């Protein structure tokens, strides 16, 4: 489909060589994060487009159809190529990647999306690794197709930034969690140890977390109190001053 569009574009420009109009193909890519057993994972797909890309991997993505808005296209690509339904996935627009050489097949601009989903909210099939789509640790992702290494890095930095002033971290947690579990997740994403006493003061701020009145049992340690976020929406909070969290 992309090749056909590029051929039509070149034909148009040849026939209208005096025109000042120039066109680029519009696409979308989805950077979807989840966390499993203390590891930050990203959803990848196989990319095999000889001779440009042979047995490579990349982010789920594709061209935006004429009748779609960018978000609709992102959800479709994540569903059809990434094998993940989007009803429980949080998506927000990340950045527009418009490097002239980002796609060797032609001039393609990508509207990228950042996604987060809790591992517990995925189905058995969505958790599976298949030949065409799978989960991989962000620490072992390199050499991705197109400019997807750059998209991954921008997305990681966005996530690291937004957990300090929004509740986006809630989209990577189960509905109910302990203070240890949320602290561990902050440390995983930020890549640093957080002082336990200061952290507990922060999460005790009014309106940040709600106690469920329940406890998590079945662990080696004593039962721990379970908490939840007051709303499912991602909202801004006065929570983490990056100068005072460690």
- In sequence order, what are the beta bridge partners of 228? 210
Q: What is the mean pLDDT of each run of 10 residues along the chain (246 residues)?
A: 55 51 86 97 95 93 96 98 95 96 91 98 96 97 96 98 95 96 96 92 87 84 91 85 43
pLDDT of residue 11: 58
Residue ranges per structural domain of the chain: 2-158, 168-228
Q: Determine the pLDDT at residue 244.
A: 41
The architecture (CATH level 2) of 168-228 comes to Orthogonal Bundle (1.10)
Give me the pLDDT at residue 216, please. Answer: 87
Amino acid 237: pLDDT: 87
pLDDT at 170: 97
Q: Which of the following CATH numbers is that of domain 2-158: 3.30.300.30, 3.90.79.10, 3.30.365.10, 3.40.50.300?
A: 3.90.79.10
* Paired sense of beta strands 90-97 and 61-63, if any: unpaired
9: burial class by Cβ within 10 Å (0-12, 13-18, 19+)? middle
Cα 186 to chain centroid distance, Å, stands at 16
Beta strands (DSSP E) in 98-223 are 108-116, 133-137, 210-216
pLDDT attached to residue 206: 82
pLDDT value at residue 50:
87
């Amino acid at each position: 489909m992309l090749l056909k569009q590029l051929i039509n574009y070149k034909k148009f420009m040849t026939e209208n060589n005096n025109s000042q109009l120039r066109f680029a193909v519009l696409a979308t890519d989805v950077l979807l994060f989840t966390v499993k057993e203390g590891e930050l994972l990203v959803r990848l797909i196989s990319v095999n487009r000889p001779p440009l890309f042979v047995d490579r991997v990349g982010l789920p993505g594709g061209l935006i159809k004429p009748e779609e808005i960018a978000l609709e296209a992102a959800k479709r690509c994540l569903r059809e190529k990434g094998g993940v339904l989007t009803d429980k996935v949080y998506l927000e627009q990340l950045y527009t990647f418009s490097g002239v050489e980002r796609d060797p097949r032609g001039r393609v601009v990508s509207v990228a999306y950042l996604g987060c989903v809790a591992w517990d909210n995925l189905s058995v099939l969505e958790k599976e690794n298949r030949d065409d789509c799978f989960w991989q640790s962000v620490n072992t992702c390199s050499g991705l197709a197109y400019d997807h290494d750059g998209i991954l890095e921008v997305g990681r930095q966005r996530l690291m930034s937004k957990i300090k002033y929004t509740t986006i971290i809630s989209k990577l947690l189960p509905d109910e969690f302990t203070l240890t579990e949320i602290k561990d997740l902050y440390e995983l994403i930020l890549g640093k140890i957080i002082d336990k006493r200061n952290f507990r003061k922060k999460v005790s701020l009014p309106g940040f977390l709600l106690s469920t009145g329940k406890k998590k049992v079945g662990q080696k340690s004593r039962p721990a109190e379970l908490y939840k976020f007051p709303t499912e929406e991602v909202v801004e909070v006065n929570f983490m001053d990056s100068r005072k969290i460690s």
